[in-house]
């Protein structure tokens, strides 16, 4: 770095990656340690706290003191020292083996200060660097006799294709589910009678809202079971509250949800296996009229731009069990496939503590207009073995179609019932329900009147 660039840097004042020191003193180890535990940075010798340049003559003895301080850290750190005119610059890299200690103490850069970490802050730093593994941690509160669900474990063994003739404890050890002769947290999430007894944050929240805001809740579930059951029930809840397109071809009917089950399974399982279980937050699935949000505590362990290119989990043992059960096609390959399926109608938001996936939904008019073409009954008679209901949309779908037709002044009872392949009395029943729900009202005389949206 030349002198001019250094002066320009000094003008920016002290900050997260920049420390000023008027001279070399005993605190240099603290500053180096704090920067290494954060994002790295520079320490400039010969500058007062207010940015005034006082100058500093760097000697070989000074260089040795600085290098020895870095080498004696745990683990050792390599840094670069440079003399620039009447100043000295210490280049501290971001540590590759965090966390670092100096003289037995942990320090971390917080703003423009280097702070000694308290016990809980040290724990957080270890967790952030994935040095403390939740999934392999022995659970000292778990009682095998009272808390272990043998039926859940037996079902897992069968589903995973394992040799069920082996002793239970032998299988658990082979799966990596025993730590220090105790069932670890992954085993608890999968095989406890009630995992939430040990981890309240294992409960998954599923909510359906009216409209685009959280003002009114239409449906809500707290999923409180084992890992696999919670996953399946979260997918079921979401599918149940999405619109379904009925595609009629020959004598069969295909039901196609507006967002594919494959996409939902991939995104929900990702939220469950990659979340931070040390956080008290829960996985939350929220359905709005214009979007679905799937949120989990714990940000990415890598840069956001690498999402879809890097597979790195803070809970690799959880990932292994999920992979054994074939809950998703292939762990780590799903994000790019999801992007392709959704054709870009997805975005990712993250903070230091949360990760959120947002999937755009089609508007109701757009979805219903597309659906209408699939509800027209072919002119030929159905085959004898064709189920009578195979060409008829469910009640909720009919009601949505009725609302859309009324909104666009295209509703005619007789022609509508013919298009949907149902009796006129069925449509009349749907209309009455919509009226009772205060969604529509009939205006004018019985003959010549019309329905209106409320």
Tell whether 346 and 428 lie within a shared domain. Answer: no
Tell whether 262 and 332 lie within a shared domain. Answer: yes
Residue 279 lies in a domain: yes
Tell whether 106 and 238 lie within a shared domain. Answer: no
Q: Which residues pair with 74 in a beta bridge?
A: 101
Tell whether 225 and 183 lie within a shared domain. Answer: no
Residues found in the chain: 454
Higher pLDDT, 132 or 340: 340
**Degrees (nearest 5) of the Cα angle 312, 315, 319?**
80
Question: Quick one: what percent of the chain has pLDDT higher than 70?
Answer: 84
> Hey, what are 81's tokens?
């020292």
Residue finishing a domain among 198, 216, 238: 198
Residue 41 lies in a domain: yes
Tell whether 271 and 355 lie within a shared domain. Answer: yes
Tell whether 214 and 186 lie within a shared domain. Answer: no
Tell whether 350 and 414 lie within a shared domain. Answer: no
Among the listed residues 14, 77, 4, the one whose alpha carbon sits nearest the alpha carbon of residue 44:
14
Distance in angstroms (rounded) separating the CA atoms of residues 80 and 90: 6
Q: Is the pLDDT of residue 94 over 60?
A: yes
Domain at 108, CATH number: 3.30.950.30
Domain at 291, CATH number: 3.30.565.60
Residue finishing a domain among 128, 155, 182: 128
Tell whether 396 and 335 lie within a shared domain. Answer: no
> Hey, what are 403's tokens?
């609302």
Q: Phi then psi for 395, rounded to 5 degrees?
A: -55, -50
Question: Quick one: what percent of the chain has pLDDT higher than 90?
Answer: 46
Q: Which helix (H) or strand (E) holds 217?
A: strand 217-223
Q: Which of the four pLDDT bands, split at 50, 70 and 90, describes residue 437?
A: confident
Q: Please report the beta strands in 71-144, taking only residues with DSSP state E, as ranges in sequence order.
A: 80-84, 87-92, 101-102, 105-110, 113-116
Tell whether 341 and 223 lie within a shared domain. Answer: yes
**pLDDT tens-place string over residues 295-350:** 999 877 666 666 655 556 778 889 889 988 988 655 556 777 887 888 878 998 88
Report H helices in 168-260: 168-174, 185-191, 227-240
Tell whether 420 and 351 lie within a shared domain. Answer: no
**Full residue range of the structural domain in which residue 187 is found:** 144-198
Tell whether 152 and 101 lie within a shared domain. Answer: no
* DSSP assignment string, 358-408: EEEPPPHHHHHHHHHHHHSPPSSPPPTTS-GGGG---HHHHHHHHHHHHHT
Among the listed residues 149, 186, 184, 140, the one whose alpha carbon sits nearest the alpha carbon of residue 168:
149
Residue 292 lies in a domain: yes
Tell whether 193 and 255 lie within a shared domain. Answer: no
Cβ-based neighbours of 53, under 8 Å, separated by 6 or more: 7, 10, 46, 47, 86, 87
Residue 54, pLDDT score: 96
Q: How many helices (H) and strands (E) does the chain have?
A: 16, 19
Residue 139 lies in a domain: no
Domain at 427, CATH number: 1.10.10.10
> Cα 107 to chain center, whole Å?
30
**pLDDT tens-place string over residues 392-427:** 557 787 888 888 778 767 788 887 787 777 888 888
Q: Mean pLDDT highest for which of 167-171, 182-186, 413-417?
A: 182-186
Residue finishing a domain among 360, 375, 397: 360
Residue 186: Cβ-neighbour burial (10 angstroms; 0-12, 13-18, 19+): buried
Domains of the chain: total: 4
């Amino acid at each position: 770095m030349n002198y001019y660039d250094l002066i320009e840097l000094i003008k920016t004042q002290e900050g997260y990656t920049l420390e000023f020191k008027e001279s070399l003193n005993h605190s240099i180890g603290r500053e180096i340690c704090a920067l290494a535990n954060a994002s790295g940075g520079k320490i400039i010798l010969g500058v007062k706290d207010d940015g005034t340049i006082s100058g500093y003559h760097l000697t070989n003895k000074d260089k040795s003191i600085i290098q020895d301080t870095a080498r004696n850290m745990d683990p050792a750190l390599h840094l670069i020292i440079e003399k620039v005119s009447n100043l000295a610059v210490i280049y501290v890299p971001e540590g590759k083996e965090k966390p670092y200690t100096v003289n037995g103490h942990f320090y971390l850069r917080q703003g423009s200060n280097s702070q000694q970490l308290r016990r809980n802050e040290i724990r957080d730093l270890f967790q952030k660097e994935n040095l403390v593994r939740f999934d392999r941690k022995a659970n000292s509160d778990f009682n095998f006799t009272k808390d272990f669900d043998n039926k859940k474990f037996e079902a897992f063994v069968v589903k995973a294709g394992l040799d069920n003739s082996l002793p239970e404890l032998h299988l658990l050890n082979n799966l990596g589910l025993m730590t220090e002769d105790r069932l670890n947290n992954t085993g608890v999430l999968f095989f406890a009678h009630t995992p939430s007894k040990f981890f309240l944050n294992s409960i998954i929240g599923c909510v359906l809202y009216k409209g685009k805001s959280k003002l009114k809740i239409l449906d809500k579930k707290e999923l409180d079971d084992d890992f696999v059951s919670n996953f399946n029930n979260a997918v079921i809840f979401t599918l149940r509250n999405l619109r379904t397109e009925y595609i009629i071809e020959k004598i069969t009917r295909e039901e196609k949800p507006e967002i594919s089950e494959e996409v939902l399974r991939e995104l929900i399982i990702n939220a469950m296996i990659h979340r931070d279980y040390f956080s008290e937050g829960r996985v939350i699935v929220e359905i709005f009229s214009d979007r679905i949000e799937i949120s989990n505590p714990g940000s990415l362990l890598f840069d956001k731009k690498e999402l879809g290119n890097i597979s790195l989990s803070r809970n690799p043992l959880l990932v292994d069990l999920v992979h054994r059960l074939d809950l998703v096609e292939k762990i780590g390959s799903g994000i790019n496939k999801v992007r392709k399926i959704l054709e870009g109608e997805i975005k990712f938001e993250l903070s230091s503590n949360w990760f959120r996936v947002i999937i755009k939904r089609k508007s109701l008019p757009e979805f219903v207009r597309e659906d209408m073409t699939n509800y027209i009954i072919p002119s030929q008679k159905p085959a004898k073995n064709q189920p009578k209901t195979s060409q008829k949309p469910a009640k909720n779908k009919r009601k949505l179609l009725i609302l859309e037709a009324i909104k666009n002044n295209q509703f005619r009872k007789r022609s509508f019932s013919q298009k949907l392949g149902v009796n006129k009395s069925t449509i009349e029943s749907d209309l009455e329900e919509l009226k009772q729900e205060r969604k529509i009202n009939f205006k004018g005389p019985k003959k010549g009147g019309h329905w209106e949206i409320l």
